[in-house]
Amino acid sequence: MLFTDLFKMTKTCTHDHISPDMECGYCPDCGKLIENEWYITRCACCGVKLKTMSRGGKIVPQMHYCTNCGGKEFEVEKIEKINFIDINFAVLVKKEAEAKVACSTTQCWQERTDAKPKLLTQFL
């Protein structure tokens, strides 16, 4: 725990109000679109699941060596949907995403005249 975390002097939002069961949602604190991403690490030698953590923005296993074979190398795997078996091994990363506009709007107006306005044609 950092000194700034202790006294809440950080200015970056931690998105605490976004629940882990959502795929994405808008943070009520900062208003940004947040995507939840789950990651798991596996031993590169034997493929056993390792407990995962995020350290300095990187996804790494908690232990330095595999408890099954003693290997040091690991692979990071992104999980699309989390299940109850992998929840003990996975880590949640909340990433800011670009908000996609659902529809585009075209506006037009006409100068004020005495003539009756006619229906404007729409080109796609």
Q: What is the mean pLDDT of each run of 10 residues along the chain (124 residues)?
A: 59 84 86 90 92 91 90 92 89 85 64 70 67
Report pLDDT for 3. Answer: 61
In a domain, 120, yes or no: no
46-49's contacts with Cβ under 8 Å and 24+ in sequence apart are 46/71, 49/86, 49/89
Report pLDDT for 23. Answer: 86
In a domain, 90, yes or no: yes
In a domain, 69, yes or no: yes
In a domain, 121, yes or no: no
In a domain, 104, yes or no: no
**DSSP label at 101?**
P
Report pLDDT for 18. Answer: 87
The parent domain of residue 50 ranges over 3-96
Q: Number of folded domains in the chain?
A: 1
Report pLDDT for 90. Answer: 93
